[in-house]
Amino acid sequence: MIDDIKAETRKAAFAARKVAHGKGLDAAAQAHLSAALAGYPGAPVSGYLPIRTEIDPRPPMAAHDGPVGVPVIPGQAQPLLFHLWTPEAVLVDGPFGARVPENGVAMIPRVLIVPLLAFDARGYRLGYGGGFYDRTLDMLRKAGPVTALGFAYGAQEIAEVPIDGYDQRLDGIVTEDGLRRFD
């Protein structure tokens, strides 16, 4: 039942994100993301390489003064791995069609920039349904402090993300309106 609710919510969230994507909001959101990352000088950060209508985190990633990585999907139902990335990195096709750095140098992030379809005021996010970020955040949080910042358009906020026992909360969300922290 929760899977059906999540599937319907995903459809609506894709549509809302698509509309927001064409409105020229990326630069304002990127400026807020850069400001948020400035609070973690030198910390290892993981971003992502945007697909479809995802908001683009690459400019703030490139400007960060510490190591930056991107996720690598090792296989279905597994936590993500992270490989070092630079704007000049040669990218190759990885598992599940995601682009990944060819050199494959592993890193462990302290701050994660997390893509999403929808988020709510409680700090929950709705992803694509693979559970990769939920597994990853659970694993990383058990190993030590980590900060998960969702990156999205404000239009992606919904009243309530449907959740189950596996869903991990974000520590904050960055949109074109700024950074919002969740308790």
pLDDT at 98: 83
pLDDT 10s digits, 54-69: 999 999 999 999 999 9
Q: Which fold has domain 2-181?
A: Rossmann fold (3.40.50)
Q: Domain ranges in the chain?
A: 2-181
pLDDT 10s digits, 120-137: 999 999 999 889 999 999
**Percentage of residues in the chain with pLDDT exceeding 70?**
100
DSSP states of the chain as a string?
A: -HHHHHHHHHHHHHHHHHHHHTTS-HHHHHHHHHHHHHTSTT--EE-----TT----HHHHHH-SS-EEEEE--STTS--EEEE--TT--EEE-GGG-EEETT--B---SEEEE--SEE-TTS-EE-SSS-HHHHHHHHHHHHS--EEEEE--GGGB-S-----TTPPPPSEEEETTEEEE--
- Mean pLDDT of the region 151-156: 98
pLDDT at 94: 85
